[in-house]
A and B are shown apart, each in its own frame.
Chain A
């Protein structure tokens, strides 16, 4: 007789790792499936190595460029999928995927922003799309619990559309950031430049974790988990309960159902041996990441679910949303020329500055709905890319690079992409991945709202730099390709109406009561804010609900 776990959780990152840990803590026996191996973050990555420690200076070597996505480098590359083994088709889309216990939390940017009350009811504000079936008040207790657990640093700014978290002390601003903040807030009403809100420990003691040591390279995988990762912070707790079983190298193919219309098992292929295995759970929780979760559910179609598992609504794969990286801008702060600070980017990722959304808060623009925020940072950074913009050559050029090193400031926008039914993913009828599993086909592109918003973001980035007296040296005015933000959301959205949504307000399938989706596939809209904090909060909320329902017998 095969083991039947209380829950099988697919994925081990922010969503899967949180759901698995929370369920283990509630006393459930959990099997967590991860397609990649498990790395020891303390020894398997080398985030303090200097670029010159690597023959290709930390960049992916030319002969491996086709294998890795744009976010990979020599420090972190081993936790990403091989692009050649994991193709996808359709319109131009950049899909960054991890393949390791901890998922994308091994390299993520740490930016941690609560969604606002208006974000959950955006449709009521501007008439576009659909409200979430839950409100800020429903999620607030989970934001608080997550923050008290993982540690989020920042400054309480009391901004209506950017609710404060339970903050650890913020990372101090650099000279360039301080000057920029003073200029913008002094000259442009309604614009705020706030401390970055980042999931990193900035106090000497926090749940026994090592504090940040300000090396500046969390994305190269923090060896001491001062910055949050599922594998460094959550899963050790899950393991201590004795309730967690982790199956690595499990490339999930599909979820099966039984005659009573219950999710029965998860079928996966061992990444290495290529053998097919089937595991059983009383509850199945999907947390593979928005697009992989949806791919698995679409690939799980069967006689009873001909359009994909639990897809009687037909919305599975639809209403994809994310953030458009409209433009970015870099410049020099002239008065800082000659500044000798040499540690400007040695802050945690997600430190630096953030410019919260300032469009469509109260007013309603005619050219686009929703809005965008800017992430930014100023001061010296490891590689002086700006040097290409300094004219000349020789000793004077070299001296100028040094003098400008700490004067650099740059910001880049993240704008809300409106969920539209036609922006969708489906299963490619022909192409398979290396394991033989059908792949995703992307039918996603920017719409008029995104493009109008992107134009405005480019205008305002220039407006702010001019107002602040910054000498502009580089400007990107074309949006990066869809997917680039790695903030994919939607495609299995929640809602009160089973005809127009895939999940109910507890992340439970309308059609199959023991099937849950804990990741950002459940999002109704993406907002302009980075998704991970909300993924963690909603995954925790999902797990609480699963545990409560199992205890009461409602899940059978």
Chain B
């Protein structure tokens, strides 16, 4: 959603914000007039300037930032780092089950372990080229090497979490995907208008 449309919606929402109840029956309402003061994002809970990780330590946090940005990098739109996927994951894992907490810590540790054995330094200290080279075999669907199995599992977990964190963020949903739901539409925006698609 572009800024102009967001502002327009915000004004619209504020315009009827004083209503405590909406008459649903008795008079026809256009959808726009019926828009209550809702649907506007609250302040992004993950964005205060003095943020510090609560669950991960700062090295784990940096590893997470590096991995998530490698998976979904900045292109013509911002990537996972700008979308603060690491902060979402810190918030979430801070109250995950001990089992899930252990799983992600093991996953992060695996990348350092592989990095140490290959380059004698932790993952975040590698060049981007080295980092990508480390990930590539893990992302290969046909990889069935026993020594890579825990790495494939670790990569698959971080990738899945990155996908969720990124595409549910404002950057991922609005800027990258340009999703058109969650808002007032005068007609169904998904309607097929292509005669060649219709039987």
Q: Do A and B come from one complex?
A: yes
Residues of A bordering B, CB below 8 Å: 40, 42-43, 45-58, 61-63, 171-175, 177-179, 181-182, 185-186, 204-205, 207-217, 223-226, 232-233, 236-237, 240, 341-347, 351, 379-380, 382-384, 387-388, 391-395, 397-399, 401-402, 405
B29 at the interface (CB under 8 A from A): yes
B8 at the interface (CB under 8 A from A): no
Min Cβ gap B173→A in Å is 6
Q: How far is the CA of A173 from the CA of B165 in the complex (A)?
A: 30
Q: Describe A's contact surface by its main secondary structure.
A: loop
- Pairwise interchain contact A393-B71, C-beta atoms closer than 8 A: yes
Q: A63-B95, A213-B184, A388-B163 are in contact. Are A205 and B38 (CB under 8 A)?
A: no
Q: How far is the CA of A303 from the CA of B37 in the complex (A)?
A: 55
Q: A210-B34, A402-B176 are in contact. Are A341 and B190 (CB under 8 A)?
A: yes
B22 at the interface (CB under 8 A from A): yes
Q: How far is the CA of A411 from the CA of B132 in the complex (A)?
A: 37
Of A49, A52, A63, A223, most B-chain CB atoms within 10 Å: A52
Contact of A347 among B36, B92, B188, B199 (CB under 8 A): B188
- Pairwise interchain contact B31-A56, C-beta atoms closer than 8 A: no
Residues from chain A with Cβ under 8 Å of B88 in the complex: 57
B11 at the interface (CB under 8 A from A): no
B3 at the interface (CB under 8 A from A): no
Known A224-B24, A342-B179; 12 more pairs at CB < 8 Å: A49-B38, A177-B192, A210-B29, A210-B34, A213-B185, A223-B36, A236-B25, A342-B177, A346-B180, A382-B181, A384-B177, A398-B176
Residues from chain A with Cβ under 8 Å of B14 in the complex: none
Min Cβ gap B141→A in Å is 5
Q: A223-B22, A387-B163 are in contact. Are A382 and B199 (CB under 8 A)?
A: no
Min Cβ gap B2→A in Å is 13
Min Cβ gap A83→B in Å is 16
- Pairwise interchain contact B141-A391, C-beta atoms closer than 8 A: yes
Residues from chain B with Cβ under 8 Å of A344 in the complex: 190
Q: How far is the CA of A162 from the CA of B180 in the complex (A)?
A: 32
- Pairwise interchain contact A208-B135, C-beta atoms closer than 8 A: no
Min Cβ gap B115→A in Å is 16
Residues from chain B with Cβ under 8 Å of A54 in the complex: 42
- Pairwise interchain contact A393-B139, C-beta atoms closer than 8 A: yes
Interface readout for B113-153 with A: 1 if CB under 8 Å, 0 if not?
Answer: 00000000000000000001001000111000000000000
Residues from chain B with Cβ under 8 Å of A398 in the complex: 72-73, 75, 79, 176
Residues from chain B with Cβ under 8 Å of A384 in the complex: 163, 167, 177
Residues from chain A with Cβ under 8 Å of B180 in the complex: 342-343, 346, 380
Residues from chain A with Cβ under 8 Å of B174 in the complex: 50
Q: How far is the CA of A172 from the CA of B199 in the complex (A)?
A: 14
Q: How far is the CA of A57 from the CA of B97 in the complex (A)?
A: 18
Of B37, B187, B188, B199, most A-chain CB atoms within 10 Å: B188
Min Cβ gap A321→B in Å is 34
Q: How far is the CA of A242 from the CA of B75 in the complex (A)?
A: 61
Q: A181-B199, A224-B22 are in contact. Are A173 and B191 (CB under 8 A)?
A: yes
B4 at the interface (CB under 8 A from A): no
- Pairwise interchain contact B185-A343, C-beta atoms closer than 8 A: yes
B183 at the interface (CB under 8 A from A): yes
Q: How far is the CA of A43 from the CA of B19 in the complex (A)?
A: 9
Q: A179-B197, A224-B34 are in contact. Are A343 and B188 (CB under 8 A)?
A: yes
Q: How far is the CA of A47 from the CA of B139 in the complex (A)?
A: 37
Min Cβ gap B186→A in Å is 8
Of A54, A223, A343, most B-chain CB atoms within 10 Å: A343
B40 at the interface (CB under 8 A from A): yes
Q: Which residue of B lies closest to A63 (CB)?
A: B95
Min Cβ gap B172→A in Å is 8
Residues from chain A with Cβ under 8 Å of B50 in the complex: none
Of B45, B79, B192, B198, most A-chain CB atoms within 10 Å: B192
Q: Which residue of B lies closest to A186 (CB)?
A: B199
Q: How far is the CA of A382 from the CA of B181 in the complex (A)?
A: 7
- Pairwise interchain contact B75-A395, C-beta atoms closer than 8 A: yes
Residues from chain A with Cβ under 8 Å of B95 in the complex: 61-63
Interface readout for B23-49 with A: 1 if CB under 8 Å, 0 if not?
Answer: 011111111101111111110111000
Task: Provide a sorted-by-A list of 13 A–B residue pairs whose CB atoms are within 8 angstroms.
Answer: A42-B34, A43-B36, A45-B38, A47-B38, A49-B39, A53-B40, A57-B165, A174-B191, A210-B34, A213-B185, A224-B24, A393-B139, A394-B73
Min Cβ gap A186→B in Å is 7
Q: How far is the CA of A47 from the CA of B37 in the complex (A)?
A: 11
Q: A53-B42, A207-B25, A215-B184 are in contact. Are A182 and B199 (CB under 8 A)?
A: yes
Residues from chain A with Cβ under 8 Å of B141 in the complex: 391
- Pairwise interchain contact B191-A210, C-beta atoms closer than 8 A: no
Q: A342-B189, A393-B70 are in contact. Are A50 and B177 (CB under 8 A)?
A: no
Q: How far is the CA of A171 from the CA of B96 in the complex (A)?
A: 40
- Pairwise interchain contact B70-A394, C-beta atoms closer than 8 A: yes
B60 at the interface (CB under 8 A from A): no
Q: How far is the CA of A401 from the CA of B163 in the complex (A)?
A: 10
Q: How far is the CA of A181 from the CA of B176 in the complex (A)?
A: 30
- Pairwise interchain contact B184-A343, C-beta atoms closer than 8 A: no
- Pairwise interchain contact A42-B190, C-beta atoms closer than 8 A: no
